[in-house]
Chains A and B, each alone.
Chain A
Amino acid sequence: MVQELGHLKETASQTAGPYVHIGLTPNFGGISGVFERDLGSVMVNDETLGERITVTGRVIDGAGAPLKDAVIEIWQADAAGLYNSPSETRGAADPNFTGWGRGPTSAEDGTFVFETVKPGRVPFKGGRLMAPHITLWIVARGINIGLHTRLYFPDEAAANAEDPLLQRIEHRHRAETLVAGGQAPNYLFDIHLQGEKETVFLDM
């Protein structure tokens, strides 16, 4: 016998289900009067520092249809490369930028849109810089555990080439699934759940 580690097991994930809007974006889902506004619907204000961008995209299933009942969350550094989080020890992030956004895919065509700023670079272990990126987390009916991926920028070829996460992708053409289309300030990012263009999802 040895001592017990005493660790608990993480609570198992379950799908967000078809009515995820009731919980996460109730005003969008038609329930008004409970919360003043949907959390995460606004990331920037007039004072936010940095280059304003939009990220528009869809989440596409294995039959090529966009999901019209998904919710996407994004998390990113501010324009100077600092996270608005108590775990950020390198300095104080822009107080006018939350770094976190949440948005539904539309019931009409399945698009999501985030109005944000372009993130600065943040360090990897050992101090070398990662390329500017946005973390995404996708939940929906039929998704049993939230899907985690990253968006990189098409106009950062040099930084992307030295990014430690992108470098870890063995099949080089798959790294392109993490690089947005479009151009500044309007980027496009479709997420493919399956098929030839399946997005690289992360276990991090």
Chain B
Amino acid sequence: MSDTENRRPETGAFFQRDRDWHPPAFAPGYKTSVLRSPRKALLSLDNTISEITGPVFGHSIIGELDNDLIHNFAKPGESAIGERIIVHGRVLDERGRPVAGALLEFWQANAGGRYRHKKESYLAALDPNFGGCGRTITDENGYYVFRTIRPGAYPWPNGVNDWRPAHIHFSVFGHGFAQRLITQMYFEGDPMIWKCPIVGTIPDRRAIEQLIAPLDWANTIPMDSRAYKFDIVLRGRRSTFFENRPEGN
């Protein structure tokens, strides 16, 4: 950690977001976006100190079972039902540098595709031992890992017969508030990915492929859990070429 502490403060502005890579706000195939999408042009401005800075969370907020969704809601001695998996990877920035100390929060449906939420109405059964939320913080190499069960696919009201492919929601903090990101991870080999209207809000196929975690056979734990690798890329910072100006570069 001493290396981290001795590092110069990160004061550079972030690379501009590629708005053609992200889904547009208005994506009529995903019907809820129609009334919830801004229609006027965004105001584009280089970062100020209000975007360059951001909250950083200490490892002290993380509990022992926070990254174990199989056990963090289960009764003592019991565990969640489903296919046991490990999800792991690195948080990097657009320059390929690891983002240490990044808070990741994740949530998902249970093995039958049912969320533990009062507005959830799918007829699949709740699992009394599965809550569906977890969190962790990346280490000095930007690495993270958590254990869960593979979520099920589920139907949702959009078209008459739309289904979500199995997915895990991720919320990610980097070091600046401008890096704030929410996304979803999908599973290699799932044919439903390409039928999903929410996936389909993303215009570029390569951007979708970047959300699909491959089966990571080498990291599979024999007789225990399969592993999926999911790397996440946050906005990169510009180099601070000249002296650190207190208000940021």
Report A's interface with B, CB cutoff 8 A.
Answer: 6-24, 26, 29-31, 33-36, 39, 61-63, 67, 69, 73, 75-77, 83-90, 98-100, 122-127, 130, 133, 135, 137, 139-148, 150, 165, 168-169, 174, 193-194, 198-204
Task: Please determine whether A19 and B10 come into contact, CB atoms closer than 8 angstroms.
Answer: no
With contact pairs A12-B211, A16-B182, A75-B177 given, residues A84 and B42 touching in the complex (Cβ less than 8 Å):
no
With contact pairs A12-B207, A31-B116, A141-B32 given, residues A135 and B181 touching in the complex (Cβ less than 8 Å):
no
Task: Please determine whether A133 and B115 come into contact, CB atoms closer than 8 angstroms.
Answer: no
Choose from B47, B49, B107 the contact partner of A83 (Cβ within 8 Å): B49
Choose from A23, A75, A124, A146 the contact partner of B247 (Cβ within 8 Å): A124
Give the CA-CA distance A169 to B57 in the complex, in Å: 34
A190 shortest CB reach to chain B, Å: 14
Task: Please determine whether A204 and B182 come into contact, CB atoms closer than 8 angstroms.
Answer: no
Give the CA-CA distance A84 to B56 in the complex, in Å: 8
Give the CA-CA distance A63 to B96 in the complex, in Å: 42
Collect the chain A residues with CB atoms within 8 Å of residue B63's CB.
35-36
11 further A-B pairs in the complex, CB-CB below 8 A; given A8-B236, A85-B55? A7-B236, A12-B208, A15-B182, A34-B73, A34-B131, A73-B180, A75-B53, A87-B9, A141-B36, A142-B36, A165-B45
Task: Please determine whether B36 and A198 come into contact, CB atoms closer than 8 angstroms.
Answer: no
Task: Please determine whether B117 and A29 come into contact, CB atoms closer than 8 angstroms.
Answer: yes
Collect the chain A residues with CB atoms within 8 Å of residue B82's CB.
none
Task: Please determine whether A142 and B33 come into contact, CB atoms closer than 8 angstroms.
Answer: yes
Task: Please determine whether A143 and B25 come into contact, CB atoms closer than 8 angstroms.
Answer: yes
Collect the chain B residues with CB atoms within 8 Å of residue A19's CB.
107, 115, 117, 119-120, 169
Q: Taking CB as reference atom, which chain B residue is nearest A195?
A: B39
Give the CA-CA distance A145 to B37 in the complex, in Å: 10
Q: For chain B, residues 10 to 25, give those with C-beta under 8 angstroms from any C-beta of chain A.
A: 10-11, 15-19, 21-25
Collect the chain B residues with CB atoms within 8 Å of residue A194's CB.
35-39
Q: Taking CB as reference atom, which chain A residue is nearest B106?
A: A23
22 A-B pairs with CB atoms under 8 Å apart are A9-B233, A10-B181, A11-B181, A14-B23, A14-B169, A16-B171, A30-B117, A31-B132, A34-B73, A34-B131, A77-B50, A85-B55, A89-B244, A98-B55, A100-B54, A122-B49, A124-B48, A145-B22, A146-B181, A201-B38, A203-B19, A204-B46
With contact pairs A86-B10, A98-B55, A142-B36 given, residues A26 and B131 touching in the complex (Cβ less than 8 Å):
yes
Collect the chain B residues with CB atoms within 8 Å of residue A90's CB.
246-247
What bracket does the count of chain B residues touching chain A fall in?
35 or more
Q: Taking CB as reference atom, which chain A residue is nearest B57?
A: A39
Give the CA-CA distance A147 to B54 in the complex, in Å: 16
Task: Please determine whether A201 and B94 come into contact, CB atoms closer than 8 angstroms.
Answer: no
B249 shortest CB reach to chain A, Å: 8
Q: Taking CB as reference atom, which chain A residue is nearest B249?
A: A125
Choose from B32, B49, B105, B118 the contact partner of A23 (Cβ within 8 Å): B105
Choose from A73, A76, A87, A201 the contact partner of B11 (Cβ within 8 Å): A87
Give the CA-CA distance A77 to B48 in the complex, in Å: 12
Task: Please determine whether A9 and B206 come into contact, CB atoms closer than 8 angstroms.
Answer: yes
Q: Taking CB as reference atom, which chain A residue is nearest B206?
A: A9
Q: For chain B, residues 131 to 173, give those with C-beta under 8 angstroms from any C-beta of chain A.
A: 131-135, 169, 171-172
Q: For chain B, residues 186 to 225, give those with C-beta under 8 angstroms from any C-beta of chain A.
A: 198-199, 201-202, 204, 206-208, 210-211
Task: Please determine whether B171 and A24 come into contact, CB atoms closer than 8 angstroms.
Answer: yes
Give the CA-CA distance A130 to B19 in the complex, in Å: 26
Q: Is B175 an interface residue (CB 8 A)?
A: yes
Give the CA-CA distance A59 to B172 in the complex, in Å: 22
Task: Please determine whether A35 and B135 come into contact, CB atoms closer than 8 angstroms.
Answer: yes
With contact pairs A86-B56, A145-B23 given, residues A204 and B178 touching in the complex (Cβ less than 8 Å):
yes
Collect the chain B residues with CB atoms within 8 Å of residue A11's CB.
172, 181, 183, 210-211, 232-234
Collect the chain B residues with CB atoms within 8 Å of residue A139's CB.
182
Collect the chain B residues with CB atoms within 8 Å of residue A200's CB.
40, 43
Task: Please determine whether B10 and A12 come into contact, CB atoms closer than 8 angstroms.
Answer: no
